[in-house]
Structure 1
Amino acid sequence: MTDPGSTTHFASSGDPVLDRRYGWAEAALKDGDARAAVDILDQTLAEAYHFAAGWHLYGLAQEALGHQEEAATAWRQCLDLDPDDPFGARLDLARIGALPAEQATLEHFSGALFDAYADRFDSHLTQTLHYNAPDLLKAALIRCCSNAGRPFRFDIVYDLGCGTGLMGEAIHEQSGFIAGCDLSPRMIERARNKMAPDGTPLYDKLSVAGLTDFLASRPDHSADLVIAADVFVYLGDLAPCFAQSARVLEPGGLFAFTVQSHDGEGVVVGGDRRFAHAEAWLRERLTDAGLTPLCVEPASVRQDRGAPVPGLLVVAQKR
């Protein structure tokens, strides 16, 4: 796959003949022949109504034909068959406006995607997508600390959605203890194998866990920095994570993150199946959580098809 945000998961129907038909339908859709894909899947699903992957692909084909109601029906059927949603049907429903974006988050989906992506994650992000979130966040933290007359040093850091450890590498020299979490076991394995320049492990603690669950397991006032580099593009409703981040931060502690942004209101799912958050929505949720924004500025942390992806870089302080 070229990008985890655009990958379709596959699970067998249990019948090799029907699986081949699925492959033909997928190839037809990629070639731009959505009508042929629908025709093939009509026959396939008539014989395998339980085939959740088939229903997801059927929805994509119907959408390509401009049939949004039929697409939404197919994706709802996909969810009925597999509520764990390994195909990202909720994201597709939100993308076409058939489900509120804040209800579309499902962490199982992004975890499965990044397991498959782990081996080439670093090179693809930095070389192909020109990913620079760790550097931008580090620079913003330096500015905020300088403006406040405080040392650029953090005793305990929680790295949310740490992936293979790119953010940990950027912040290691300024950190006493770094704990990271990620839903992908293979990403965590890669992070665990990375060493700091002094030969010690890059992370002091690593957990296979969702962001909010990881934070909920941490004590009150136990960190002076919580950081999330390009991970909130996979979450719609950030309020629970903001609240938990505020709880674990000591007074004056910093919360730094990047998001994909849009000029409208609230939260949307874009064509890339990623969440984009409006600035006003973010400010309101941060304030509700007891966090004061110190820095909210436009920042693109990666490219998509050669063009910068609009985003925001945020540093907030625990009141």
Structure 2
Amino acid sequence: MTEKALSTHFASSGDPALDRRYGWAKAAFDEGDAAAAAEILDQTLAQAYHFTAAWHLYGLAKEALGQREDAATAWRQCLDLDPNDHFGARLDLARIGAMAAEQATSENFSGALFDGYADRFDSHLTQTLRYNAPELMKDALVRCCSNAGRPFRFDMVHDLGCGTGLMGEAIQEQAGYLAGCDLSPRMIEKARAKTGVDGQPLYDKLSVAGLTAYLASRPDRSADLILAADVFVYLGALEACFAQSARVLETGGLLAFTVQTHEGEGVVVGEDRRFAHAEGWLRERLVEAGLSPLLAEPASTRQDRGVPVPGLIVVAELR
């Protein structure tokens, strides 16, 4: 069964009548009537215990009613039925404190989310959300290179979670060879269609892959810049990615990234279902991986309902 067919399988009960009930429950929930949604789903799940999408919506309805233990039970049932987590149940469990945030990454959910987002990604991100991570990251790299007295030029660049290529467009003139990866095949299609200032393809190489798996396939000491613009908001635990980055970077190579952040400690999942990493936690994990933070400064890379989202721009060096 293909990934798309698998996802569709979990989104249906297999019974058109029960699927219609699910539709009524979702409409009620979207209109703010969580009690009605929960009542309809109680009846639906009694006849279709295997209906993963209904369990996920049931959890949202129970959460809205203040019944968090019931919500957590529903989302755990989602994971029992669908261990690959196409609905992001791990994120919801972490969001209400029922799972450690570091354990909540859901690559299948993220890949499906961005496949559906690909066609409107650039315009929505830059116009509606005022996304500016590529510009901010480029400016941070310029300053770090200037401070170190090194040229602002990189022979081998990896753009992790490259999406449609917004970061690639920002750094292309400083990159000798530009490679990118993303979980979403449709995002990669969009990036592959873009051309650089010379009229040639923007990226020299593109791969459909998760960040850590992609880095694990790269040779030791083979890159001088690794980028992750607005990507770590979809990853809780970053230790493996940092360790692989340190292995792939040559001495003096840079890792530059953005994160959402919070004033507490460690890693949390916010109401937006995105991960937020505390600055102290990031510094500790970077040092453990053998990377030295050169810069970590507050910067909001996007807005949420017109309000800047707290974040950090970080540049670290392999020494």
TM-score (norm 2): 0.97
1:27 CA drift (Å): 1.0
In the TM superposition, what whole-angstrom CA distance separates every residue of 1:4-34 from its partner, at most 9, and x where no partner exists? xxxxx97111111111111111111111111
| Corresponding residue of 1:117 | 117
In the TM superposition, what whole-angstrom CA distance separates every residue of 1:184-213 from its partner, at most 9, and x where no partner exists? 000001100100011111000000000000
> Is the deviation greater in 19-28 or in 166-175?
19-28
| Corresponding residue of 2:137 | 137
Query: Structure 1: 5+ residue runs without aligned partners?
Result: 1-8
What's the secondary structure of 2:116's corresponding residue? helix
CA distance in 2 between counterparts of 1:219 and 1:106 reads: 26
CA distance in 2 between counterparts of 1:38 and 1:90 reads: 20
| Corresponding residue of 1:4 | none
| Corresponding residue of 1:92 | 92
CA distance in 1 between counterparts of 2:108 and 2:180 reads: 18
| Corresponding residue of 1:161 | 161
CA distance in 2 between counterparts of 1:299 and 1:245 reads: 23
| Corresponding residue of 1:61 | 61
CA distance in 1 between counterparts of 2:18 and 2:127 reads: 38
Percent identity at matched positions? Answer: 80
In the TM superposition, what whole-angstrom CA distance separates every residue of 1:201-232 from its partner, at most 9, and x where no partner exists? 10000000000000000000000000000000
CA distance in 1 between counterparts of 2:20 and 2:301 reads: 39
Structure-2 change in CA distance of 1:159 and 1:101 (3 Å)? same
Aligned AA (2:266)? G
| Corresponding residue of 1:20 | 20
TM-score (norm 1): 0.97
CA distance in 1 between counterparts of 2:299 and 2:247 reads: 27
CA distance in 2 between counterparts of 1:20 and 1:84 reads: 25
What's the secondary structure of 1:317's corresponding residue? strand
1:81 CA drift (Å): 0.6
**Mapping for residues 36-51 of structure 1, pairs under 5 Å:** 36-51=36-51
| Corresponding residue of 2:217 | 217
Q: CA RMSD in A?
A: 0.9
| Corresponding residue of 1:182 | 182
| Corresponding residue of 2:30 | 30
Aligned AA (1:125)? L
Aligned AA (1:137)? M
CA distance in 2 between counterparts of 1:70 and 1:198 reads: 57
1:62 CA drift (Å): 0.1
Is the contact between residue 156 and residue 223 of structure 2 (CA under 8 Å) also seen in structure 1? yes
CA distance in 1 between counterparts of 2:37 and 2:106 reads: 27
User: Are 2:59 and 1:80 equivalent residues in the alignment?
Assistant: no
Query: Structure 2: 5+ residue runs without aligned partners?
Result: 1-8
> Is the deviation greater in 26-35 or in 219-228?
26-35
CA distance in 2 between counterparts of 1:214 and 1:139 reads: 26
What's the secondary structure of 1:150's corresponding residue? coil
| Corresponding residue of 1:6 | none
CA distance in 2 between counterparts of 1:117 and 1:147 reads: 38
Q: 4+ residue stretches of structure 1 with deviation over 4 A?
A: none
| Corresponding residue of 1:237 | 237
CA distance in 2 between counterparts of 1:206 and 1:56 reads: 33
Aligned AA (2:188)? I
| Corresponding residue of 1:170 | 170
CA distance in 1 between counterparts of 2:51 and 2:254 reads: 46
CA distance in 2 between counterparts of 1:108 and 1:12 reads: 17
| Corresponding residue of 2:198 | 198
Aligned AA (1:283)? R
